[in-house]
Amino acid sequence: MSYLNFFCQYHKVLFFGVLLTFFSSFGQTFLISVFVPHILKEFSLNSGQFGTIYSLATLCSAALLPFFGRLLDKSRISTFTFCIGLTLLLSCWLMALSPGVAFLFAALLGLRISGQGLMGLTASTAMARLFTKFRGRALSISATGYPLGEGILPLVTVLILHSYGLRITWLIAGFFIALIFLPLSIFLIRDTGTPAEETTKTEEEWSPKHLLGDVRFYLILPGIMAIPFLLTGIFLYQTSLADFKGYTPGLMASGFTAYALMRMLSSIAVGPWIDRLGGIRLFPFSVIPLFMGLIVLWTQSGIWCIYLFFILAGASQGVSGIIATTVWAEIYGVNVLGQVKSLSAMVVVFSTALSPALFGWMIASNFSFSWILPGAAAFCILAFVSGLAMRRIPRT
């Protein structure tokens, strides 16, 4: 079935997934970072103080994900979606009305858990639950909301911020969620109910205790950690990388356009391959494009290298999350998918919180990118080998 026919047949559910991933932007770092200068001024904070508050909110959000993932597995998708949409709305308004730092922390925690954490988790879990034969295509289409949000919302936010300021902008964001997201999400998903079961074991068998005792879970983790961990560090210290390679900041910024475009294209392209071959067979290869980009950036010089790196990094980022969701569903079934994905997401968030500290320490200790890049490539090899080992363990 072509993408066009597939979308026409299941357009309501697929648009629901795109809606969730798009609105997850309100809790993502790329959008919140637009507000940072205004937040520092409004609350009389310096960068270090805000960074600490933001990191704590992110880590607390990650720690709460397994609880909400288990709740998602037991809930109707429509009810759960309404609750996280309402939480996101109230968090936006709390940002607008916060009288002090404590309320700022609470607002950031709400944005991170409902936006960055649960919107994407609910979208991918819903697509995996509701589709079996065309699960890859469904996940690919729903994931297009991420680059759409990255391309549209920062520009719109900057324009509103410039005209109305910090607090009014967050109020407008809340009204946008109330008027667009909440009614649309209810309309698009209300008839799906609780999907039919499709599991390899029952929920009782795949309790957290059993899951943490399964060797496959640990063999999958390097593959899902490698890309966000490495790209977080590299993107955060892109200025140091530019100095090392002799690139200008403008050149680095232009590379992100190629990254975003390739992320969208690869996320769409991988869907039919997942439906044909399965996520388990494809999983080890999701890190290969990033590995190739790191090797090129390490061994070659010239402007073309940075563009090729961003293109290859975007390809890995575009396919990795979609393939990983399919792997979790194929191994553990969909009845506990929210719990499994939330537990893995917690690990990924903790790793991305560690990444800036590790990269920063290495740079401060005079470990230049001539050491960092091959080390990052070695991590990709570890993830690849670990993924191959996972494939050799029989499914139960």
Spatial CA neighbour of 150 closest among 264, 321, 307: 264
Query: Which CATH fold topology does 3-189 show?
Result: Growth Hormone; Chain: A; (1.20.1250)
Q: pLDDT category, 209, cuts 50, 70, 90?
A: low
Average pLDDT, the chain: 87
| pLDDT score at 206 | 57
Spatial CA neighbour of 128 closest among 372, 358, 337: 337
Residues 6+ apart with CB under 8 A from 163: none
Mean predicted confidence (pLDDT) in 342-365: 83
- The structure tokens listed for 175 are 């009204």
Q: pLDDT category, 361, cuts 50, 70, 90?
A: confident
Pair 142, 189: CB distance under 8 Å: no
Query: pLDDT by residue (tens digit) across 101-135?
Result: 999 999 999 999 999 889 999 998 899 888 888 88
Pairwise CA distance, residues 359 & 373, whole Å: 11
User: In whole angstroms, how far apart are CA 238 and each of 99, 307, 384?
Assistant: 35, 13, 25
Mean predicted confidence (pLDDT) in 327-351: 85
Q: Residue 224: CA atoms inside 13 Å, Cβ hemisphere, count?
A: 28
Pair 93, 171: CB distance under 8 Å: yes
The structure tokens 């390899």 sit at 200
Residues 6+ apart with CB under 8 A from 289: 312, 313, 315, 316
Query: pLDDT by residue (tens digit) across 13-44?
Result: 999 999 999 999 999 888 888 888 899 999 99
Q: Residue type at 376? A: A
3-class SS of residue 241: helix
User: In whole angstroms, how far apart are CA 342 and each of 118, 177, 267, 325, 367?
Assistant: 9, 24, 21, 11, 34
Q: pLDDT category, 346, cuts 50, 70, 90?
A: confident
- The structure tokens listed for 294 are 């790191």
Query: pLDDT by residue (tens digit) across 163-173?
Result: 999 999 999 99
Most confidently modeled range among 88-92, 213-217, 365-369, 370-374: 88-92
Spatial CA neighbour of 120 closest among 196, 200, 17: 17
Q: Using the 8-state DSSP alphabet, how is residue 131 labeled?
A: -
3-class SS of residue 233: helix
| pLDDT score at 208 | 62
Residues 6+ apart with CB under 8 A from 116: 24, 27, 28, 29, 58, 61
Q: pLDDT category, 198, cuts 50, 70, 90?
A: very low
User: What is the architecture, at CATH level 2, of domain 208-392?
Assistant: Up-down Bundle (1.20)
Pairwise CA distance, residues 11 & 6, whole Å: 8
Q: How many helices (H) and strands (E) does the chain have?
A: 20, 0
Other Cβ atoms closer than 10 A to 269: 14
Checking phi first, is residue 44 left (phi over 0); if not, alpha (psi -120 to 50) or beta?
left
Q: What share of the chain is helix, strand, coil (3-state, %, to 5)?
A: 85, 0, 15
Residues 6+ apart with CB under 8 A from 226: 287, 290, 379, 380, 382, 383
Q: Which of the residue ranges 146-160, 196-210, 299-313 would you say has the lowest mean pLDDT?
A: 196-210
- Tell me the longest C-alpha to C-alpha distance in the chain: 59
Q: With 70 as the cut, is the pLDDT of residue 194 above it?
A: no
Domain definitions of the chain by residue range: 3-189, 208-392
Mean predicted confidence (pLDDT) in 215-230: 91
Q: pLDDT category, 202, cuts 50, 70, 90?
A: very low
3-class SS of residue 332: helix
- Indicate if 208-392 has the same CATH topology as 3-189: yes
| pLDDT score at 197 | 40
Q: pLDDT category, 192, cuts 50, 70, 90?
A: low
User: In whole angstroms, how far apart are CA 48 and each of 40, 151, 254, 340?
Assistant: 10, 28, 28, 34
